[in-house]
């Protein structure tokens, strides 16, 4: 096992070569058994668990989990960065080695859908999904997903599934948390299997997945200003968001950020 003190984004103390000696009172080896994964690497503080994942990935087994008590330079889509406070959320990355490139088209959506379903029991209301990578509760952001893929030609070598979850709501406008009293381990017990299941899936979204997404989609019927101006119709099986424009046409978008013309209504 290699040392990660020189891995990109690493900061803080560690025990031996595997980072922190425990996470919420549990040794990494015990967590690996608990979640039926080949390895868990826990850290007190890192820049981003995604950076650690990419340092480990060339030799790591599929299903390897990296978790941190704190992130000082967590990152999201479009280069956004933020700090993730210690003890208040789940900051993890899972290394997987999928082979179906079609499934990669919708991996972020699948991860969001399965994570939302898995975490519902701990949320104050049904968890909604927002294309392409957010989970929301009552109009506030609960979690975000970032998928980073490393390719060898046209073949994916590995994917790093980054997942950030507010267990306790931070003092940030527009942020949500899980129900008071929920522990990080309770959330992880649901999230890790859900993300692994999403990574093992093949092909584009199936009919039942489309229906389950639609039941949680916070965007359908709302007026958007980005990635195009118009009314959101929903998504298609390949993961594109569909927007009806004022002239009667429909555009499909695979990338970009979804911005609404008006804020959501909380109930």
- Per residue in 214-255, pLDDT (tens digit) is 999 999 999 999 999 999 999 999 999 999 998 889 999 999
Q: Which of 105, 267, 83, 266 is nearest to 174 (CA)?
A: 266
pLDDT band per the 50, 70, 90 thresholds, residue 173: confident
Distance CA 243, CA 100 (A): 27
Strands 250-253 and 40-46 turn out to be unpaired
Question: Could you read off the pLDDT of 48-57 as tens digits, one per residue?
Answer: 999 999 999 9
Cα–Cα dist 239/255, whole Å: 10
Residue scoring higher pLDDT (73 or 153): 153
Q: Quick check: 41 pLDDT over 90?
A: yes
* Minimum mean pLDDT range among 64-73, 75-84, 104-113, 135-144: 75-84
Is the separation of the CB atoms in 51 and 18 below 8 Å? no
Q: What is the mean pLDDT of residues 137-151?
A: 94
CA 32 to chain centre: 20
**pLDDT value of residue 198:** 98
Look at the block and give the residue holding tokens 């909380």: 266
Structure tokens at 123: 């949320």
What pLDDT does 89 receive?
93
Q: How confident is the model at residue 20 (pLDDT cuts 50, 70, 90)?
A: confident
Phi then psi dihedrals of residue 107, to 5 deg? -65, -45
Whether the per-residue pLDDT at 12 is higher than 60: the answer is no
Over 80: is that where the pLDDT of 10 sits?
no
Q: Residue 86 — very low, low, confident or very high, per pLDDT cuts 50/70/90? A: confident
pLDDT reported for residue 80: 54
pLDDT band at 152 (very low <50, low <70, confident <90, very high): confident
- Strand 40-46 and strand 65-75: pairing? parallel
- The counts of H helices and E strands in the chain are 6, 14
Q: What is the pLDDT of residue 93?
A: 98
Would the pLDDT of 6 be above 60? no
pLDDT at 40: 97
pLDDT at 32 > cutoff 50: yes
Q: Rounded to whole angstroms, how far apart are CA atoms 23 and 145?
A: 21
- Per-residue pLDDT, averaged over 255-262, amounts to 90
Q: Does domain 10-214 match CATH 3.30.930.10?
A: yes
Task: pLDDT band for 3, please (50, 70, 90 cuts).
Answer: very low
* pLDDT confidence tier of residue 84, bands split at 50, 70 and 90: low
Q: Report if pTM > 0.75.
A: yes
Q: What is the CATH number of domain 219-260?
A: 2.30.30
**Mean pLDDT on 116-143:** 96
Write down the domain spans for the chain: 10-214, 219-260
pLDDT at residue 75, as a whole number:
59
What Cα–Cα distance (Å) separates residue 247 from each residue in 220, 250, 251?
Answer: 18, 9, 11
3-state SS, residue 14: coil
Tokens of 163: 């997942």
């Amino acid at each position: 096992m290699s040392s990660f003190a020189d891995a990109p984004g690493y900061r803080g103390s560690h025990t031996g070569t595997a980072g922190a000696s425990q996470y919420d009172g549990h040794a990494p080896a015990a967590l690996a058994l608990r979640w039926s994964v080949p390895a868990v690497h826990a850290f007190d503080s890192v820049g981003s668990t995604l950076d650690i994942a990419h340092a480990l990935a060339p030799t790591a087994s599929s299903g390897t989990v990296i978790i941190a008590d704190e992130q000082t330079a967590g990152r999201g889509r479009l280069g956004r960065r933020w700090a993730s406070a210690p003890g208040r959320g789940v900051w993890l990355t899972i290394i997987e080695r999928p082979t179906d490139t079609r499934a990669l088209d919708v991996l972020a959506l699948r991860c969001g859908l399965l994570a939302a379903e898995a975490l519902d029991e701990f949320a104050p209301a049904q968890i909604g999904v927002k294309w392409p990578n957010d989970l929301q509760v009552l109009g506030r952001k609960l979690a975000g997903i970032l998928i980073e893929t490393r390719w060898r030609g046209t073949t994916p070598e590995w994917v790093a599934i980054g997942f950030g979850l507010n267990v306790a709501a931070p003092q940030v406008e527009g942020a949500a948390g899980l129900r008071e009293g929920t522990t990080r381990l309770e959330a992880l017990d649901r999230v890790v299997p859900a993300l692994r299941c999403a990574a093992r899936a093949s092909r584009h979204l199936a009919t039942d997945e489309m229906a389950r997404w639609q039941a949680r989609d916070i965007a359908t019927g709302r007026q958007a200003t980005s990635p195009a101006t118009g009314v959101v119709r929903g998504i298609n099986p390949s993961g594109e968001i569909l927007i009806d424009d004022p002239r009667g046409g429909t555009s499909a978008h695979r990338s970009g950020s979804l911005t609404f013309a008006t804020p959501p209504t909380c109930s």
